[in-house]
Amino acid sequence: MKDPIKNALKMMPYGFYSITSRNGDEVNAMVANLVMQASFTPRLVAVGLQKKAYTHRVIEQGGVFAINIFRAEDEEALMGFTKGREKNPDKMADADYTPAPETGCPVLAGAAAYLECRLVEMVDVGGDHDILVGEVVGADVMKAGEVDETLTLTDIGWSYAG
């Protein structure tokens, strides 16, 4: 079946990140690819987050999240977070992470960099994902690299578009 919209959307480049969140003592990590910078001043990012994702509730209640950025060579460090809480309820029990200094969100071992964000707005656009707008309040680069070294869906042979 021909679907030119889906085919065109699949031509867009998508990074592959981990969104981590915290609400009190509760922490979580999930993978995501619908992520982009949305403003220079203030520095805002936008994340498309599936409404039924466990992380959705954690961010809604805790008001903070972090975007963990990985280099392509470090994809294995991220793969343990590809299954949702239903399939892997204890994924954070053995996760290797450090709390980020501004928000306490997990910074995962193996990440090249991270952005800490305070939730500005969660926008229900009527679809299966909400758009989270976060103000970047902290960041660090642990492994310097170029943008073409950042992990993408193409690097792992996956597609989440269309």
pLDDT of residue 64: 98
**Cα three-residue angle 23-26-28, rounded to 5 degrees:** 95
Q: Can you give the pLDDT at residue 89?
A: 81
Q: Position of tokens 């998508």?
A: 14
pLDDT tens digit sequence for 76-92: 999 889 888 788 888 89
pLDDT tier, 162 (very low <50, low <70, confident <90, very high otherwise): low
For the full predicted model, state whether its pTM sits above 0.85.
yes
Give the model confidence (pLDDT) of 108-120 as tens digits. Answer: 999 999 999 999 9
Return the CATH architecture of domain 13-156.
Roll (2.30)
pLDDT in tens, 43-100: 999 999 999 999 999 999 999 999 999 999 999 999 889 888 788 888 899 899 999 9
Domain boundaries, the chain: 13-156
**Location of structure tokens 């299966």:** 128
Contacts of 92 (CB under 8 A, 6+ apart): 27, 28, 29, 106
Asked whether 59 and 118 are in contact (CB, 8 A), the reply is no
The CA distance from 88 to 143, in Å, is 28
The helix (run of H) or strand (run of E) holding residue 77 is helix 76-79
